[in-house]
Chain A
Amino acid sequence: MTVFSPIKTSLAEMGLADQALKSERFRELRMAQWSELEELLNRMDKRGIRSLDTQEILNLPKLYRGALSALSVARATSLDQNVIAYLESLCTRAYYRLYGTQSGLGKRIMSFLNQDWPLAAQRLWKDTAIAALLILISTIAAYLLVQSHPDWFYSFVDAGLAGDRTPAASTEALRNTLYTRPEDKTGLGIFASYLFSNNSRVAIFAFALGFAFGLPTIFFMLSTGFMLGGFIGLFASRDLGYEVGGWLIIHGSTEIFAIILAGGAGLHIGRAIAFPGSLSRTQSAALAGRTSGLLMVGVILMLLCAGLLEGYARQIITGDFLRYSLGIGLFILWMIYLYIPRRPKGLTAR
Chain B
Amino acid sequence: MSDRIQHTAQIKSTDRRSLITPEGIDLQIQLADVGARIGAIVIDLIIINLALFLGFLVFVLAGMTVNPEVAISLYIVFALFLRSFYFLAFEMGPKAATPGKRLMKIRVAARNTAIGQARLSANAVFARNALREIEIFLPLSFLASNSENVDGLIGLMGLIWSGIFLLFPLFNKDRLRAGDLIAGTWVVRSPRPFLGRDLAKQDGRKVQIFSFSTEQIEAYGIHELHVLESVLRKNKAATLKEVADRIRKKIKWEKSALENDGDFLNAYYRALRKRLEARLIMGVRRKNKFDAR
Using a CB–CB distance below 8 Å, which chain A residues touch chain B? 17, 19-24, 27-28, 31, 34-35, 38, 44-45, 48-49, 65, 68, 71-72, 76-83, 85-93, 95-97, 99-101, 108, 112, 116, 120, 186-190, 192-194, 196-197, 200-201, 204-205, 207-209, 211, 269, 279-280, 282-294, 296-297, 349-350
By beta carbon, the residue of chain A nearest B190 is A93
List B contacts of A77 (CB < 8 A): 277, 280-281
With both chains docked as a complex, state the minimum distance between the C-beta of A65 and any C-beta of chain B, in angstroms. 7
Q: How far is the CA of A291 from the CA of B123 in the complex (A)?
A: 7
Q: How far is the CA of A260 from the CA of B3 in the complex (A)?
A: 60
**Do B126 and A21 touch across chains, with their CB atoms under 8 A apart?**
no
List A contacts of B28 (CB < 8 A): 88
With both chains docked as a complex, state the minimum distance between the C-beta of A264 and any C-beta of chain B, in angstroms. 14
Binary contact readout B253-293 vs A (1 if CB under 8 angstroms, 0 otherwise): 00000000000000000100110110011000000000000
List B contacts of A72 (CB < 8 A): 25
By beta carbon, the residue of chain A nearest B174 is A282
Q: How far is the CA of A85 from the CA of B93 in the complex (A)?
A: 26
Which one of A44, A71, A211, A287 contacts B114 once the chains associate, using CB atoms below 8 Å? Answer: A287
**Do B69 and A187 touch across chains, with their CB atoms under 8 A apart?**
yes
Which one of B96, B130, B201 contacts A96 once the chains associate, using CB atoms below 8 Å? Answer: B96
B250 contacts chain A at the CB level, 8 A cutoff:
no
Beyond A17-B204, A82-B233, A85-B8, is A293–B127 a contact (Cβ under 8 Å)? Answer: yes
List A contacts of B72 (CB < 8 A): 189-190
**Do B178 and A211 touch across chains, with their CB atoms under 8 A apart?**
yes
B166 contacts chain A at the CB level, 8 A cutoff:
no
With both chains docked as a complex, state the minimum distance between the C-beta of A30 and any C-beta of chain B, in angstroms. 11
List A contacts of B126 (CB < 8 A): 293-294, 296-297
**Do A22 and B127 touch across chains, with their CB atoms under 8 A apart?**
no
Known: A31-B195, A38-B193, A290-B124. 9 other contacts (CB 8 A): A68-B23, A208-B134, A211-B181, A286-B185, A287-B113, A289-B181, A290-B127, A292-B127, A293-B130
Which one of B122, B124, B200 contacts A80 once the chains associate, using CB atoms below 8 Å? Answer: B200
Q: How far is the CA of A17 from the CA of B118 in the complex (A)?
A: 44
List A contacts of B222 (CB < 8 A): 79
Binary contact readout B69-86 vs A (1 if CB under 8 angstroms, 0 otherwise): 110111011011000100
**Do B193 and A24 touch across chains, with their CB atoms under 8 A apart?**
no
Q: How far is the CA of A172 from the CA of B155 in the complex (A)?
A: 39
Q: How far is the CA of A208 from the CA of B270 in the complex (A)?
A: 57
B27 contacts chain A at the CB level, 8 A cutoff:
yes
- The 8 A-B residue pairs whose C-beta atoms are closest, nearest first, are A286-B184, A293-B127, A289-B182, A189-B73, A89-B193, A294-B123, A85-B8, A293-B123
Which one of A35, A44, A80, A85 contacts B273 once the chains associate, using CB atoms below 8 Å? Answer: A80
Which one of A190, A211, A285 contacts B73 once the chains associate, using CB atoms below 8 Å? Answer: A190
Q: How far is the CA of A4 from the CA of B22 in the complex (A)?
A: 23
CB pairs A–B below 8 angstroms (20 shown): A20-B201, A21-B273, A21-B277, A68-B23, A79-B277, A79-B280, A82-B196, A82-B233, A85-B7, A85-B9, A91-B21, A92-B29, A93-B193, A96-B190, A99-B21, A100-B119, A101-B96, A197-B77, A211-B178, A283-B114
